[in-house]
Amino acid sequence: MSIKVAINGAGGRMGRRLMAFCVKNEKLELAQALEYDKHPLLGKCVRDIDPEADSDIALECGALRGDVLIDFSSPEGTVARAKEAAAKGVALVVGTTGLDEAQTAEVRAAAKKIPVIHASNYSLGVNLVFRVAAEIAQALGEDFNIEIAEAHHNKKADAPSGTALSIAEKICAATGRDLKKNLVHGRSGKPGARTKNEIGMHALRLGSVVGDHTVYYASDFERIELTHRAQTRDVFAAGALRAAAWLAGKKPGMYEMGDVLFG
C-alpha cells in the first residue's frame, strides 16, 4: 500500500515541487494539499497550481489526514500542524526555516508522540557531506586548516547559510572544537596569524546560485577540497519525499537525514 502524504505550504514554491514529485512517486500518494485559511489559491485543483502535479485534489485548510505530513510553510503554521500531527499520530517532516527556540521546542515536543525529521537541508548529497566533512577533519588532525565557503543567490537574506553552519557543527563535534569560540566569519584588517583550531566561514551572494558549499582542508604540503553544488531546488523536494517514505511507521522520536541515508 502507498504512503499517504499531506503537504503543508503546498501553494508555495517548495510545496508545488513537493506535490509534483509526490504524484510521480510509486511509493507515495498525495492525500492532502494544505495552506493557511486565507491563502488566495484555496479551492484550486493542484494541477492548476503546478501542471506537473497531476492530481484532482484541491488546496485546502482543513483537518490533517494521512500517514506523513511534509511541512514547508511558516514557523507559526508548522507549530500548529506539528501539534495536530502529534495528536493524530501522523509522522512529520519539517523543512520550514526561521523557527525560533520556542517553536523548535514545540516540534521536539511532538517527537515524544510521533516520528519527526527536522533538517536544515534535505539534499541527500549535502547530508552525505555533513558526515564525510567531519570524518575528513577527524582523520587529518590539527595540522590541517579548515575553511568553509558557501555561495547562494543574491536574494538570500541570511548569512552564513544554515547548511554551512551545520557542516561547521559536525566538524566541531568530531574534532572537539567549540563552534562559538573557533568559528571565524571572514577576515578584515589585521586579524593576525591564523590560530590552529579556528574554522573560517565565508559567504558569497551571486546571481541565481542555488547553493554551493566547499570545505577546504590544507596543511603546509597539500590541500583537499570537498564540494557540493545544488543544480536545482528540486533536490530539496526529492530529499524530503525520500525522508517521508522512510519515516512512515517509525517509532516516535527525533530523526536526522543521516538516519535516512545510513539507517
Kindly report the CATH number assigned to the domain that includes residue 171.
Answer: 3.30.360.10
Domain annotation covers residue 237 = no
**Range of lowest pLDDT (21-25, 96-100, 104-108, 245-249):** 96-100
pLDDT band at 162 (very low <50, low <70, confident <90, very high): confident
Residue 134 is assigned to a structural domain of this protein: yes
Residues spanned by the domain of 57: 3-118
- How many structural domains does the chain have? 2
- 82 and 141 in a single domain? The answer is no
Give yes or no for residue 62 having a pLDDT over 80.
yes
Same domain, 139 and 113: no
| pTM of the entire predicted model | 0.87
Res. 207: pLDDT tops 90: yes
117: Cβ contacts below 8 Å, ≥ 6 apart = 92, 93, 94, 243, 247, 254, 255, 256, 257, 259, 260
Among the listed residues 152, 170, 202, 228, the single catalytic one is 152
pLDDT over threshold 80, residue 58? yes
Active-site annotation holds for 156: yes
Cell digits for 147? 575553511
* CATH number for 93: 3.40.50.720
**What is the predicted pLDDT for the residue at 91?**
98
Mean of the pLDDT values across residues 29-41?
96
Q: Give the C-alpha separation, 96 to 83, whole Å.
A: 15
- Domain identity same for 199 and 220: yes
Say whether 38 sits in a helix, a strand or coil: coil
Average pLDDT over residues 175-198: 95
12 and 65, same domain (yes or no): yes
Beta-bridged to residue 216, according to DSSP, are: 147, 225
- Could you tell me if residue 138 is inside a domain? yes
pLDDT at position 120 over 90: no
Domain-embedded: residue 262:
no
54-63 mean pLDDT: 95
At 1, the pLDDT band (50, 70, 90 cuts) reads confident
How far, in Å, CA of 46 to CA of 57, rounded? 6
Same-domain status, 112 and 131: no
Q: Does residue 244 sit within a domain?
A: no
Asked if 43 and 95 sit in the same domain, the reply is yes
Same domain, 130 and 225: yes
Q: Which of 83, 113, 156, 250 is labelled catalytic?
A: 156
120 vs 131, more confident? 131
153-161, long-range: CB < 8 A, 24+ apart: 153/205, 153/206, 153/207, 153/208, 153/209, 153/210, 154/205, 154/206, 154/207, 154/208, 156/205, 159/203, 159/205, 160/185, 160/201, 160/202, 160/203, 161/203, 161/211, 161/213
Could you say which of 63, 98, 118 is where a domain stops? 118
**Residue 157 pLDDT grade (very low, low, confident, very high; cuts 50, 70, 90):** confident
**Of 103, 118, 133, at which residue does a domain stop?**
118
Percent of the chain with pLDDT over 90: 94
Residues 11 and 111 in one domain: yes
Q: Which of 95, 118, 141 is the C-terminal boundary of a domain?
A: 118
Report yes or no on 179 lying in a domain.
Answer: yes
Q: What is the mean pLDDT of the chain?
A: 95
**Which residue's entry shows cell 521536539?**
108
Do 205 and 106 share a structural domain? no
Instruction: Say yes or no to pLDDT of 7 above 80.
Output: yes
Q: Is residue 235 part of a domain?
A: no
**According to the model, what pLDDT value does residue 89 have?**
98
Task: Check whether residue 58 and residue 94 sit in a common domain.
Answer: yes
- Cell 526555516 belongs to 97
CA distances 90 to 69, 115, 129, 131, 249, Å, are 7, 8, 30, 29, 9
Domain shared by 97 and 54, yes or no: yes
242 belongs to a structural domain? no
Q: Average pLDDT of 22-35?
A: 96
Please tell me whether residues 161 and 219 are part of one structural domain.
Answer: yes
